[in-house]
Each structure stands twice: as structure tokens, then as C-alpha cells.
């Protein structure tokens, strides 16, 4: 899924644990698009995984107040008591889960939480089942931690959701974790209670397996979709599940770097050991901001959701009107994950055959100056991801360009 680390420089020898890991394809495309922009090309970047809203004022004010009050020192290792209390209250209020204060942890983003959890639990050869398409970091973190990711492709017909039979078939005696993400980056697909139940039934039959759920996009769901998280559905899972969340996406706080999770005390303690030797506590000022986010008003989330929904409908509608593309309507997050199967084998005006989804996204970047990410970067082809967390004007212009670029392709020169 990733581009390997550059080992060309004389004298530099990377550790074996990063041999298959590197800078993500998303970042690589972003860098190329940014370079093109600097050269004067009017590139539209639909690759970023962050809302284009600003962090709300009451959250910024809380951070400023924390600075003025001298909250500028180390805090408790895996989150101040106030942040942990805010996380407990959130889990209770929004998910109906009772986590005690020593059952929650906070780190520098959900990414660090995932890293801490895998680092604290995975031994060489341990397996983590990850349905694809998935956020690129999952399998890389598992590999860095010495584990083996078992990627299970979930196609569009199944709503990009893992099915019970697939889970059952992927389980081995070495399976340590199953990692689920709802709503998903990159597909936007979400699991309802009915979607989760068969998976929970499988997990109950395999008590050696732990469940990690990434609920990062919980607050970005559409059309009345009812968000649920597995531990709320099946309390027996609580003793072997980590429920991960964060403030990055819901509160437009990607730069503040605060994520948190609830899980069994022993796991939370082990995760703190990892964090203690990596970053110590998350930034004290960001913790104050996250407390304001979690404890403060939540009504504005609905307005932001409505704005994302307008953009989702715009993007899905326009993509489905382009011959060769097919886009499932996502339940949540701010991504579309469209099939470009109907584009494969077509030929660009420069005479290049589009053989893969990466060829298609290269073509869109080079000829239409629109940066999107190929499905191969997320473990499922032939698809491409659009992040619609940008202005409607930019989206309309980008879709006009994609439409023109697809229309400019010549028919297949290969037999169908
Ligand atoms: C599914 C998912 N989980 C976690 C994260 C990381 O979030 P954070 O900013 O809290 O590290 C991302 C970021 O793109 C994501 O898409």
C-alpha cells in the first residue's frame, strides 16, 4: 500500500521494521499536487482528510484561557483528570457506555492511540484483521509494531462492510485484533446495529480476539443514520475492546492533536507505558481545548453535518452522471469511494492506456489538475477517493474537470 523509504543516501540504513512502510500515497499525491501548484498549475486538491471549517471559538477561547492560567506544564501521562472525565462523560452521554476514569486514555491524536494499543499488545507474528478499503495507516502501524495485517477486501456490493463469514474465515489462532472503522475513511460506509450484530456473534465465539473500533467520524453521518459502537451493543465485549475516538474531525481540530479511547484498565495502563517513552502527555493547551470541545455545546455539529451532506449529494450525483464511474452513496464521513472500472483500458489524449486506478488518478492530476487518491492506496481497486471537505465552488470546478477528462478518453483498445 505504501511507498518504501528511500535508502539511497550513503551511510543510512533504516531499521527492518520500516522496510515495507513509508510516506503514504496520500501524502505523496499531496506533495506532487502542491509542487504543481507552486509551478502555477491551478490544482484542486481533493485529497485532504480534514474539514475546511475553523475550530469553534469557544474551543479556541478555552485554549487561550489555559495559557493565561499557566496550564503550560506536563500533565498526567495519558491525559489530565479533567480530560479523562470529559471523555468518560462523552462515552456515557453519546454512546451509553460506562467507562471509569482509569479505563480511558488520551494521546496526541487517535493515531497515537492506535499506535500505543498495537505497540502494547502485538508480538511478532500476531495478526490483525483489517477490512479494506481502509485508512492507510492501519496496516502500516501494525507492520511497524511487528504484527501482520490480514487485509480482507470488502466490495461495494456489500456496502464495503465486512461480512460475518469473511471474518470467520480470516480468524486464525494468531489473530489478536479485529479493527473496524465506522463511518469509514475512505468509503464513508457505516455499520448499523444490524450490520454489527453478526460480527459481534462471531467475536463472541472467539474469545481470544480483541476488537478495536475507530469511531473518529461518529458525528458525520447523514439521512438519519443512527451511529452505534459495538461495546454499546454488546457489553460482554467491553472487557476486550478498545473504543477509539478523537476531536480532529468532529470539531475541526486536526492540528490540536488530541485523541482518546476507552478500554479495559490493563490495556489502558499498558498503552500509557508506550506513550510514556514516546511523547509523554499530549499538549496541555490542546487538552484544555479538547475538554471544551467535549463538554461544550454540540448543536453546531448538526449545521456542519448538513453542510457536508449537501456536498456529498453534489459529488455523488455528479460522479454517477459520468459514464464509466459508479459511486455508492456513503452513510457518513466526508469521502466518496467510486469505482472507475468503466474507465480501465481507455486511452488518454496523450496515448496512454489507463490500466489501473492509480493511472486514472495520475491522469486526473496531470491533465485535469485534480488531486484524488487511488483505491490501491486503501487496499481496494479499481476505485478512487474524493475528500469533499472543501468548498462547494471548488467541488463543482473539480467535478467539471473530472467530467471533461473522462469525456476526453478514447475507447478501449483492448478486447473488453
Ligand atoms: C479513520 C481515521 N482514524 C483516525 C484518524 C487520525 O485522527 P487523529 O487526527 O486524531 O490522529 C484519521 C485521520 O485521517 C482517520 O481517517
Other C-beta atoms within 10 Å of 37: how many?
15
- Beta-carbon contacts of residue 307 (< 8 Å; ≥ 6 apart): none
From the CA of 258, how far away is ligand 1's center (Å)?
10
Q: Per residue in 152-194, pLDDT tens?
A: 999 999 999 999 999 999 999 999 999 999 999 999 999 999 9
From the CA of 216, how far away is ligand 1's center (Å)?
6
Probe residue for ligand 1, chosen from 249, 257, 258, 389 as the CB with the greatest number of ligand atoms within 8 Å:
249
Q: Per residue in 225-260, pLDDT tens?
A: 999 999 999 999 999 999 999 999 999 999 999 999
When pLDDT is averaged across residues 132-148 and rounded to a whole number, the result is: 94
**Average pLDDT of the chain to the nearest whole number:** 94
* Closest by Cα among 201, 65, 363 to 355: 363
> Bridge partners of 347?
353, 410
Instruction: Retrieve residue 261's grid coordinates.
Output: 479511547
From the CA of 111, how far away is ligand 1's center (Å)?
6
Nearest atom in ligand 1 to 259's CA: 10
pLDDT at 3 over 80: no
Nearest atom in ligand 1 to 113's CA: 11
Q: Are 356 and 384 in contact (CB under 8 A)?
A: no
Pairing state between β 44-45 and 370-371:
parallel
Q: Are 136 and 26 in contact (CB under 8 A)?
A: yes
pLDDT at 10 over 90: no
Residue nearest (by alpha carbon) to ligand 1 atom 1:
185
When pLDDT is averaged across residues 20-26 and rounded to a whole number, the result is: 75
**Residue 84 C-alpha from the chain's centroid:** 23
Residue nearest (by alpha carbon) to ligand 1 atom 7:
110
Pairing state between β 241-246 and 259-262:
antiparallel
Q: Per residue in 263-314, pLDDT tens?
A: 999 999 999 999 999 999 999 999 999 999 999 999 999 999 999 999 999 9
> Bridge partners of 384?
338, 374
Residue nearest (by alpha carbon) to ligand 1 atom 3:
216
What's the confidence (pLDDT) of residue 416?
40
Nearest atom in ligand 1 to 247's CA: 10
Domains of the chain: 16-54+300-407 (3.90.1150.10), 72-295 (3.40.640.10)
From the CA of 257, how far away is ligand 1's center (Å)?
10
Instruction: Retrieve residue 256's grid coordinates.
Output: 490540536
Nearest atom in ligand 1 to 184's CA: 1
Categorise residue 257: left if φ over 0, alpha if ψ from -120 to 50, beta otherwise. left
Ligand 1 site, CB within 6 A: 49, 109-111, 135, 181, 185, 214, 216, 246, 248, 254, 259
When pLDDT is averaged across residues 343-354 and rounded to a whole number, the result is: 96
In terms of pTM, does the model score above 0.75? yes
From the CA of 10, how far away is ligand 1's center (Å)?
34
Q: Are 377 and 138 in contact (CB under 8 A)?
A: no
| Three-state SS at 377 | helix
Distance from C-alpha of 19 to C-alpha of 62, rounded to nearest angstrom:
42
- Beta-carbon contacts of residue 350 (< 8 Å; ≥ 6 apart): 367
Probe residue for ligand 1, chosen from 179, 185, 387 as the CB with the greatest number of ligand atoms within 8 Å:
185
Q: Per residue in 349-406, pLDDT tens?
A: 999 999 999 999 999 999 999 999 999 999 999 999 999 999 999 999 999 999 999 9
Distance from C-alpha of 142 to C-alpha of 150, rounded to nearest angstrom:
10
ω before 378 within 30° of 0 (cis)? no
| Three-state SS at 213 | strand
Q: How far is CA 176 from CA 85, 150, 162, 261, 272, in A?
A: 29, 11, 17, 18, 19
Q: Are 203 and 238 in contact (CB under 8 A)?
A: no
Amino acid at each position: 500500500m505504501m511507498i518504501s523509504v528511500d535508502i539511497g543516501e550513503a551511510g543510512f540504513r533504516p531499521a527492518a521494521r520500516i522496510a515495507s512502510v513509508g510516506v503514504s500515497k496520500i501524502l505523496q499525491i499531496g506533495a506532487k499536487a502542491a509542487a504543481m501548484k507552486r509551478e502555477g498549475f491551478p490544482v484542486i486538491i481533493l485529497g485532504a482528510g480534514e474539514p475546511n471549517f475553523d475550530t469553534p471559538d469557544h474551543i479556541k477561547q478555552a485554549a487561550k484561557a489555559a495559557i493565561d492560567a499557566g496550564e503550560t506544564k506536563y500533565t498526567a501521562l495519558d491525559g489530565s483528570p479533567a480530560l479523562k472525565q470529559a471523555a468518560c462523560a462523552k462515552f456515557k452521554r453519546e454512546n451509553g457506555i460506562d467507562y471509569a476514569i482509569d479505563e480511558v486514555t488520551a494521546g496526541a491524536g487517535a493515531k497515537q492511540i492506535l499506535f500505543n494499543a498495537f505497540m502494547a499488545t502485538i508480538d511478532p507474528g500476531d495478526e490483525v484483521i483489517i477490512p479494506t478499503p481502509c485508512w492507510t495507516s492501519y496496516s502500516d502501524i501494525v507492520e511497524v509494531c511487528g504484527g501482520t495485517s490480514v487485509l480482507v477486501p470488502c466490495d461495494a456490493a456489500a456496502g464495503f462492510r465486512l461480512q460475518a463469514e469473511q471474518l470467520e474465515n480470516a480468524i486464525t489462532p494468531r489473530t489478536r485484533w479485529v479493527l473496524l472503522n465506522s463511518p469509514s475513511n475512505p468509503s464513508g460506509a457505516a455499520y448499523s446495529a444490524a450490520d454489527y450484530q453478526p460480527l459481534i456473534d462471531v467475536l463472541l465465539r472467539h474469545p481470544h480476539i480483541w476488537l478495536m473500533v475507530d469511531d473518529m467520524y461518529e458525528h458525520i453521518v447523514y439521512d438519519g443514520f443512527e451511529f452505534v459502537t459495538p461495546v454499546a451493543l454488546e457489553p460482554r465485549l467491553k472487557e476486550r475492546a478498545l473504543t477509539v475516538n478523537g476531536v480532529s474531525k468532529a470539531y475541526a481540530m486536526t492540528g490540536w492533536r488530541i485523541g482518546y479511547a476507552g478500554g479495559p484498565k490493563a490495556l489502558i495502563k499498558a498503552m500509557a507505558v508506550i506513550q510514556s517513552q514516546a511523547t509523554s502527555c499530549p499538549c496541555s493547551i490542546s487538552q484544555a481545548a479538547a475538554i471544551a470541545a467535549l463538554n461544550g455545546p454540540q448543536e453546531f455539529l448538526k449545521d456542519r453535518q448538513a453542510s457536508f451532506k449537501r456536498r456529498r449529494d453534489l459529488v455523488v450525483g455528479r460522479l454517477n452522471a459520468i459514464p464509466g464511474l459508479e459511486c455508492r452513496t456513503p452513510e457518513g464521513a466526508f469521502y466518496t469511494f467510486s469505482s472507475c472500472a468503466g474507465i480501465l483500458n481507455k486511452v488518454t489524449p496523450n496515448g496512454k492506456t489507463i490500466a489501473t486506478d492509480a493511472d486514472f488518478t495520475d491522469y486526473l492530476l496531470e491533465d485535469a489538475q485534480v488531486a484524488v487518491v487511488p483505491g490501491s492506496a486503501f487496499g481496494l481497486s479499481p476505485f478512487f477517493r474524493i475528500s469533499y471537505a472543501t468548498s462547494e465552488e471548488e467541488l463543482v470546478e473539480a467535478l467539471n474537470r473530472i467530467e471533461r477528462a473522462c469525456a476526453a478518453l478514447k475507447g478501449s483498445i483492448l478486447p473488453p
